[in-house]
Structure 1
Amino acid sequence: MATIPRFKPLIPELSAGRNIGIAELGLRGSLRFAQTVATVCPQALKWLLQWRQPKPAELRELFEALGATYIKFGQFIASSPSIFPKDYVDEFQACLDQTPAIPFTKIRQIVEQELGCPLEEVYQRFGETALASASIAQVHAATLKTGEDVVVKVQKPGVRAVLTTDMNTVYVLTRVLELIVPNTDRDAVAGLVAEMYQSMIDECDFVKEAENLNVFRRFLVETGNDRVTAPKPYPKASSARVLTMERLYGCALTDQGLLGGRDPSEGLFNALNTWFASLTQCSFFHADLHSGNLLLLDDGRVGFIDFGMVGRIQPEAWQAMFALFNGVSSQNYRMMAEAMVAVGITRDEVDVEALTQDITALFTNLNALDPVRVLENNTGDGVNALLSDLGGIARNYGIRFPRSFTMLLKQFLYFDRYMELLAPGVDLFRDERVDMMFNI
């Protein structure tokens, strides 16, 4: 059989990961481009005739109608408050990533194609009803032939091809935008598209997610941490599009209705200390620790799940980050302001005193709220709103945070709010149960 030529993405920096056959991309890409044009043109024509920008809700609804890539794009906007306008960041917090499950017959076909054998050779039981379904993948419960209970994450068909086609389109459009809009920061725009693409590609690479699980589990062993765990991946039952992982039984740390009277505070301290240790002793940190991804297990351990989104930070930024964390915890808003200026990217001189006053007003209002309202179930919408407000303040002073820093700060704010809810009165920087292990 002749070898299929490989497609080279238009985005020059983005050649990592498994490439897509040009035959597949040509067919899917042409259809996808036509679908995108058919969806976008009526809306764009309406905005053009009315001579106005799209309202945030209109743009979110359009992104959701366009599917996986644009849903992820919307979530990127929602998590980048120092880059995008506040009203758009706020609106895209509601960008839905829950999609109808594809039929089990298709799931079976994908799994068997990826693993190279019938389903029954690997699993003695495979649930036909999905536990969850999102734009990129859906999850099923199963039992391996060797008896272990597992969950199987299956990538939906055509996701990588659609993503690559969409992002090449976005890349071309941004280049056109740079030509017609004066004073555009070309490096910032191109870098933003490249970062979005890489983030999405990483989520599609289940081999990389499995490696993240293995790295985190090794980190736990090397640090002697038996109070926290992460799902064990099963490589013989996994591939780039199928990830079979150990099934962990428990409930969200903040789900007091399912805790059965158990005190979750010890588990929270274990999770917090583990995350702090990972910042300097692991090659990445978990970058999506809403409470649904922190489980209090039936045996008392804490389970970190879903390692599709991780972050990395440069060592030289640690001092400013530590100061910012300390400022949040101690409500020292001058320290926060100085740290924001130190870690952010700005071309202008910043009025630190005025910045301090704005941060003080924001956190004074926050501290008056019930932490349950700030966390808002398992989605962390309140923390997202806080980040959006803080990012809006930064933008007013010409400060732009690296996205990795925003991801890091978001996790810290999660923990800060969890402490308010489950261990009120705890000072994260002075309580003897907290071990930050920054080594700076």
Structure 2
Amino acid sequence: MGQNHFNSTRRYDAEAIANYYQRRLWLVIGRLIIIVFSFASFLLGILWDKWRYHKIEDTPERATQLRKILTSLGPTYIKVGQALSTRPDLIRKDFLEELIKLQDQLPPFDNKTAISIIETELGKNINQIYSEISPNPVAAASLGQVYQARLQTGENVAVKVQRPNLLPIITLDLFLMRWTATWLAPWLPLNLGHDLSLIVDEFGTKLFEEIDYINEGRNAERFGTYFADDPSVKVPSIYWRYTTTNVLTLEWIDGLKLLDTKEIQAVGLDTDTLITVGVTSGLRQLLEFGFFHADPHPGNLFALTDGRMAYIDFGMMDQLEQETKETLVDSVIHLINQDYQDLAQDFIKLGFLAPDADIQPIIPALEIVLGDIMGEKVKDFNFKTITDKFSELMYEYPFRVPAKFALIIRSLVTQEGLALSLNPDFRIVDIAYPYVARRLLKGESPALRRRLIEVLFKDGKFQWQRLENLIGIARTDQNFDILPTAQLGLQYLLSEEGEFLRKQLILAMVEDDRIHTEEVSRLWGLIQDDLQPSRLFNMALGAITEFSTEKAATIIPSVMAMTNSQPRS
């Protein structure tokens, strides 16, 4: 009855699951005994190793034991192992090598069962659908397995078939996790307690979405639409005629595993370029689209021989509200500007602090934790060091992790772990700051232009150093061209929307009773190599092409008036 009961909705409902298992406690007790016994044997093994060896550096048999335990416990625990497998900075090498196998080397289920599911779901004999299909799955994951096939119409496809009887295991594990979270909450030293059950609910919601392949197909198409203008990202097409809730047919992607650095280098690909593509696409998902891949482990990402990165799994996605997305951009800006008062307000908006929290004692603590990010130690910054420092803050201040951000943090940590696997010296800030700087300087939307003004002005004064920092950071990306950005800036200045900035820039040139020739000279030194005379002329011409004499008539008098009103130095 359990399978049919939950199949009818395919939506996570914590109350319905609780009601179901509270009347079937024998199932709960049986599963709990299996889980406790599995991990007890592992912990006893670790204690035995410590007693047996003076110094433990490599115990492959223990790592294999953990992988087998997670595999035997099923999809919920496999996903925990997949997340750990992307953290070479947290997990010992021998354990890492075993946990990586959880990404796409799980035991497959019976081929006859898989073929039967395909035929039942698609309503046709297997030979009527495919001209050929691989005799065995090419990959087996936590929720399903994948076959390579060729449709009768000739297309090369991947056929994803869901494991049978998933729902009883998943729902029982989620019930136990939620019960444990509720029981543990009062005993936790961190200010996470009351949110733990919400985090389990968020995970449960996503897990239920992930076992609906129609939902995954829609996610893939939406994701592909967002990246349609990005030549560095590949998203496979979905074949809807051959897709149901339990079978997904999509374009076959012939790529290289991201962790296979030798093969990647052998075909002439640069790992740092791949990292840049991966992190930049991740930032775009969070800060531009608000629709992000919440499970970007190496089993779901491939490098193509032409340098593109391909995403192949869209089961676990999440959506950010526009306000949340804008607040995230704000928080990055306030972090860059070291505006800790505003950053604390961002944390309130995002839910990391309660609305009634007293932020005054928190501000100096934020400054201590985040103070050197834009300083000399910027190269030492990574997401793990920040989360480690914040975990210390959580003991003393009322920080909490909103359920929505559990997946975001998991996604960021996974991406950074993947990047560290490709390059141990990688720091996410080296890509994140230039990306934010480029977006601000380009000012593609009114919201971003407002934020650029916020960056450049503080207490009514123009921040010359911030503009230098932004241009300097943006130019660390060799592909960044200052000229199109300058053209956009000039067009903005000449528009009605740019009236405030025009006035402020003219005031900035002569503020504090002096003309700021030194600052202008430094800026010019920073960008002059990119602004050759012929290109500069074409840029200016392009910017004023649609600039009417009427607009000029309204701008010039106001400029003259402000200039004449300034004291002379």
Compute the TM-score of the two structures, normalised by the length of structure 1: 0.67
Distance across 1 between alignment mates of 2:276 and 2:39: 49
Question: What is the CA–CA distance in structure 1 between the aligned matches of 2:418 and 2:345, rounded to whole Å?
Answer: 19
Counterpart in the other structure of 2:400: 400
Report the equivalent of 1:121: 128
Does residue 356 of structure 1 match 2:367? yes
1:20-419 matches, within 5 Å, as: 34-40=30-36, 65-72=72-79, 97=102, 98-172=105-179, 188-221=195-228, 224-251=229-256, 255=261, 257-259=263-265, 260-263=267-270, 275-279=282-286, 282=289, 284-290=291-297, 293-326=300-333, 338=344, 341-342=347-348, 343-347=350-354, 348=357, 349=359, 350-359=361-370, 367-368=379-380, 385-386=384-385, 388-398=387-397, 399-401=399-401, 402-407=405-410, 409-410=412-413, 413=416
Question: Match of 1:316, as an amino acid?
Answer: E
Aligned pairs, number: 397
Give the distance between the partners of 2:107 and 2:292, measured in 1 at CA. Answer: 31
Amino acid at match of 1:138: Q
**Identical-pair percentage:** 22
Q: Give the superposition deviation at 1:230.
A: 0.5
CA 1:358 to 1:157, structure 2 compared with 1: closer, same or farther past 3 Å? same
Instruction: Give the counterpart letter for 2:379 in structure 1.
Output: N
CA distance in 1, matches of 2:172, 2:112: 26
Q: For 2:264, give the aligned amino acid.
A: L
CA distance in 2, matches of 1:30, 1:238: 37
Residues 409-418 or 117-126, more deviating:
409-418
**Contact residue 284 and residue 311 of structure 1 kept, 8 A:** yes
- In structure 2, relative to structure 1, the CA distance for the partners of 1:432 and 1:195 (3 Å cut) is closer
Task: Write the deviation string for residues 116-150 of structure 1: whole angstroms up to 9, x where unpaired.
Answer: 22221111221123222222212222221211111
SS at match of 1:140: strand
* Bigger helix share: 2
State the one-letter code of the partner of 1:353.
P
| Contact kept in structure 2, 1:150 and 1:245, CA below 8 Å | yes
Which stretch of the first structure deviates more once superposed, 154-163 or 106-115? 106-115
In structure 2, relative to structure 1, the CA distance for the partners of 1:257 and 1:74 (3 Å cut) is closer
TM-score with structure 2 setting the length: 0.54
- CA shift, 1:239, in A, is 1.4
Change (3 A) 1:45 1:232: closer
| Equivalent position amino acid for 1:395 in 2 | M
| Separation in 1, partners of 2:368, 2:193 | 33
- Equivalent position SS for 1:7: helix
Write the deviation string for residues 207-259 of structure 1: whole angstroms up to 9, x where unpaired.
111110111223344xx445533011112222111111101223356746424
Letter in 1 for 2:217: A
Query: How much is the aligned-residue C-alpha RMSD, in angstroms?
Result: 5.3
State the alpha-carbon separation in 1 of the partners of residues 441 and 31 from structure 2: 52
Cα–Cα, structure 1 residues 267 and 73, in superposed 2: closer, same or farther, change >3 Å? Answer: closer
Q: Contact 1:36/1:66 (CA < 8 Å) preserved in 2?
A: no
CA distance in 1, matches of 2:255, 2:118: 27
Task: Sort the Cα spacing of 1:257 and 1:145 in 2 relative to 1 into closer, same or farther, 3 A.
Answer: same
Closer, same or farther: CA 422–130 of 1 in aligned 2, 3 Å: farther
CA contact (8 A) 1:337 1:359 kept: no
Say whether the 8 Å CA contact 2:84–2:99 is kept in structure 1.
no
The alpha carbon displacement at 1:179 in A equals 10
**1:7 aligns to what?**
5
The one-letter code of the counterpart of 1:312 is Q
Q: Give how far 1:159 is off.
A: 0.8
- Choose 291-300 or 244-253, whichever is displaced more: 291-300
Structure 1 residues 368 and 220: CA distance shift in structure 2, 3 A: closer
Larger Rg: 2
Closer, same or farther in 2 for the Cα pair 1:253/1:334, shift >3 Å? farther
Unaligned runs of 5+ in 2: 44-61, 449-569
**Alignment pair present for 1:429 and 2:441:** no
Contact 1:137 1:155 in 2 (8 A): yes
Once the two structures are TM-superposed, the CA of residue 300 in structure 1 deviates from its matched residue by 4.8
Q: Is the 8 A contact 1:428 1:434 kept in 2?
A: no
Distance in 2, matches of 1:40 and 1:125, equals: 45
Q: How far apart are the structure 1 equivalents of 2:272 and 2:250? A: 27
Matches of 1:296 and 1:73, distance apart in 2: 24
For 1:338-368, what per-residue CA distance to the aligned partner results, in whole angstroms no more than 9, with x for missing partners? 4774435234545332333234579988835
Report the residue type matching 2:122 in the other structure.
L
> Are 2:292 and 2:317, in contact at CA under 8 Å, matched by a contact in 1?
yes
Q: Which residue of 1 aligns with 2:520?
A: none
